[in-house]
Amino acid sequence: MDASRRTPRQFRSAIVPAAGLGTRFLPATKAVPKELLPVVDTPGIELIAEEAAQAGADRMIVVTSPEKRGLATYFDEQPELENTLAQRGRFGLLEKVRNAAKLLDVGTVVQRRPLGLGHAVLQAESVLGADESAVAVLLPDDLVLPHGALDAMATVRERFGGSVLCAIEVPADEVSAYGVFDVAATGEPDVLRVRGMVEKPAPADAPSTFAAAGRYLLDRAIFGALRRITPGAGGELQLTDAVALLIAEGHPVHVVVHRGTRHDIGNPAGYLRAAIDFALQREEYADSLRGWLHERLNAR
Ligand code: UTP
């Protein structure tokens, strides 16, 4: 369903920062961008494009590194392959092959050096239309399911203005793996006002158990903030520092708490979980995988 029919559309473009080094997936990422690693049979980047399109985006702007320029060619049509599949009557496969190109327009901007997530987002500013007052950012490492978080975030921006982020609630002893929000109630369930954010706090220092989940609906003011912050350790420009600056300047920032699943497919352990989760939802794999998992887990 087109999200714009449910709420006035808050954004047209979805920025997908994908210029990181992917060190946690070496050696595979020597040759394959981690965004193209398949979750069962579909690359993570296509799952992200599906989410963005369902939330009403017309366009996905992939921020790539010079080495990963080929990432967006995944979204090109492949007439030769498509003809072959059609001639062989493989129409189910043909539909799968055509899906990516049909979702939304895909363009790229290049981040020449990995100078941080904030710097990556900043590279996309030059290709936004003058009338785009907000933009969505989807981190391709995070699968947020079921879809709908961006719709809820758009509704919150419509009501409160400013920028809206997505949070998941995590166990208190796991907060140190996340960026954690310092929040205040708004009176609306699962909508919280953000006072600040702490990166990877010790459990005793964590301001809450609400952790960042890789989805942002950012007012265009973020680009000015990204230009006004100074790089942190390693010369990296952090997106969270720019959000913190906006908060300090009185810009409204809220989070929507997502009460579903979130898989971190940017590391092998999370990626495997996502693959198993997705496979268990596929009729053609579920029974045999479930049987094998039972057997495997019961053996010693
Ligand atoms: P991460 O630091 O989690 O991912 O960045 P990474 O650098 O790709 O992977 P590791 O840590 O080396 O294994 C979060 C997101 O921000 C993007 C990454 O591509 C990822 O989607 N990013 C990060 C950039 O686009 N540019 C950067 O300079 C840094």
pTM over 0.75: yes
pLDDT over 90, % of the chain: 92
Quick check: CB of 33 below 6 Å from ligand 1?
no
Residue range 36-84, pLDDT digits in tens:
999 999 999 999 999 999 999 999 999 999 988 789 899 999 999 999 9
Quick check: CB of 61 below 6 Å from ligand 1?
no
C-beta neighbour count of 151 within 10 angstroms:
19
Residue 7: its pLDDT value, please?
60
CA 221 from centroid of its chain's CA atoms? 20
Averaged pLDDT, 164-172: 97
Ligand 1, residue 140: give the atom nearest the CA.
Answer: 21
CA distances from 52 to 241, 245, 261, 299 (A): 25, 27, 17, 42
Quick check: CB of 118 below 6 Å from ligand 1?
no
Residue 2 — very low, low, confident or very high, per pLDDT cuts 50/70/90?
very low
- Cα of 280 from ligand 1 centre, angstroms: 28
d(CA 173, CA 125): 38
- Cα of 21 from ligand 1 centre, angstroms: 6
Quick check: CB of 63 below 6 Å from ligand 1?
yes
Quick check: CB of 120 below 6 Å from ligand 1?
yes
In this structure, are residues 182 and 212 in contact, taking their beta carbons and an 8 Å threshold? no
| Mean predicted lDDT score pLDDT of the chain | 94
Residue range 257-290, pLDDT digits in tens:
999 999 999 999 999 999 999 999 999 999 999 9
Closest CA to 114 of 238, 263, 290: 238
